[in-house]
Amino acid sequence: MITIETYLQGLFDYQFQDRNLSSVLLKRGIAAGADHLTVTADTKELMQADLYMVLFSVFSKGSESVQKGNWKRATGAVYIAEKDRFAYRNEANRIYAKHGEIATYGMKDGTNLW
């Protein structure tokens, strides 16, 4: 069995945080750990659009390192170019429009899309 979280994560070459995936599942009424085969193709596509919007909202940051005694944690740098961010937003809006859904959050420009 492939969970819906694994399915969604496999669509992107970006490691989403658990809270991002959980929020998308909650928004779409899908239980965590659900078999991806039980989720409709339309819902999968809408969840993909939701994750594009997560990527649109990611801010670039440098690498970080925290050390306490012998314990050390480091995170890599994240850089998403502005043109890529807007491409994610545009793709999300294309998917939302295809399914007759209007974004009810984010920037408003008269179209109710991001």
pTM of the model: 0.75
Q: Which residues of 20-46 are buried (b: 16+ CB within 10 A; e: fewer)?
A: bbeebbeeeebeeeeebeebeeeebeb
Give the pLDDT of residue 78: 58
Q: E strands within the chain?
A: 64-68, 71-75
- Residue located via tokens 């740098």: 77
How many helices (H) and strands (E) the chain has is answered by 4, 2
pLDDT below 50 — which residues of the chain?
61-63, 106-114
Give the pLDDT of residue 107: 46
The pLDDT tens digits for 31-60 are: 999 999 999 999 999 999 999 999 888 765
The three-class DSSP label of residue 111 is coil
